[in-house]
Homo-oligomer: A and B are copies of this chain.
């Protein structure tokens, strides 16, 4: 069965994402890629232009998807709390659905060339700006505390590390809930002003 349509390319993308996630970009040789995809060198290079271009494609996929859905979320007229929860649910779902590519996205930034870095960095900033916007909007109307938003830099890391290291023991929804629970309310017991002193 020759000519199976354009799905050879998709097979290349998913197989290489998995390999890159497991062994790293530089740690994965063409030969392993070839075996996983079931092609010879010539066949592979018929579909891709270079290994690095392949990496870039793997990394842009997931971020572009959440970027698109975050726009949809921000466009709605829900309150900030609801939007924040939606961002989290969406991000958790996206990671669960495409864990390998996300792992690559988070680990292999430094393996990109200069133009690739610029593109990924731009997407990253755009996406985190969505989170920042919801957070500052929510703070403006009193839904959220006034926050130093430095921690937003790690939202992606926060999610992906939980997913990567805990993947087998909990369903993705539980992981997302765990993360969002802390993000929304922290670990401290609510209200109950303990002692009051303690300062600092």
Contact = CB atoms under 8 A, between A and B. Distances in A.
Number of copies: 2
Contacts of A1: none
A96 interface: no
B85 A200 contact: yes
Interface in A23-43: 23-27
A181 interface: yes
Contacts of A160: 154, 157
Nearest to A192: B142
Contacts of A188: 81, 143-145, 184-185
Chain A residues touching B, range: 35 or more
A158 B145 CA distance: 20
A22 to B, nearest CB: 6
A72 interface: no
Interface in A119-144: 135, 138, 142-144
Q: Shortest 3 CB-CB distances between A and B: which pairs?
A: A157-B161, A26-B26, A154-B161
Given A138-B187, A151-B179, A190-B191, 7 more contacts: A27-B110, A143-B188, A145-B187, A148-B174, A154-B161, A184-B188, A185-B186
